[in-house]
Amino acid sequence: MGIHAPSDLGWELVSRLRKGKTSKYDYDKGVFIIPCEEKDDYVDIRFSISDLWFTVEASQYIKEVDEECYIAIQPDLNGDWSFGAFILEG
């Protein structure tokens, strides 16, 4: 469950988030890996749905698993981008 965006908007969002930062795309996992020491350098995301504004803090979309950090905004099998359940959690 989560929020999905068309492919071009998903790539644009993640490209803007990563601009000027270190990252690499992990094709096996389908996510952008970032250095954990840089996770505090990412900005919060604000967007609206039906005139309701939402803020997703960087700490909600940057996840750390086994000392590896990644951006939890990723393409799904249909080519759309999934913002995942972290939006609904927070």
Q: Which residue has the tokens 């913002």?
A: 83
Q: Is the pLDDT assigned to residue 87 strictly greater than 80?
A: no
φ, ψ (nearest 5 deg) of residue 54: -125, 145
In the 3-class helix/strand/coil scheme, how is 59-82 assigned residue by residue?
HHHEEEECCEEEECCEECCCCCEE
pLDDT in the model for residue 90: 47
Mean of pLDDT values over 55-68: 91
Q: 80 falls in which pLDDT band (50, 70, 90)? A: low
Domain locations in the chain as residue ranges: 4-89
CATH code at 4-89: 2.40.70.10
pLDDT for the residue 5: 73
Residue 32 near residue 46 (C-beta atoms within 8 A): no
Q: How high does pLDDT run on average in the chain?
A: 83
The number of CA neighbours under 13 Å toward the Cβ of 42 is: 29
Q: Identity (one letter) of the amino acid at 28?
A: D
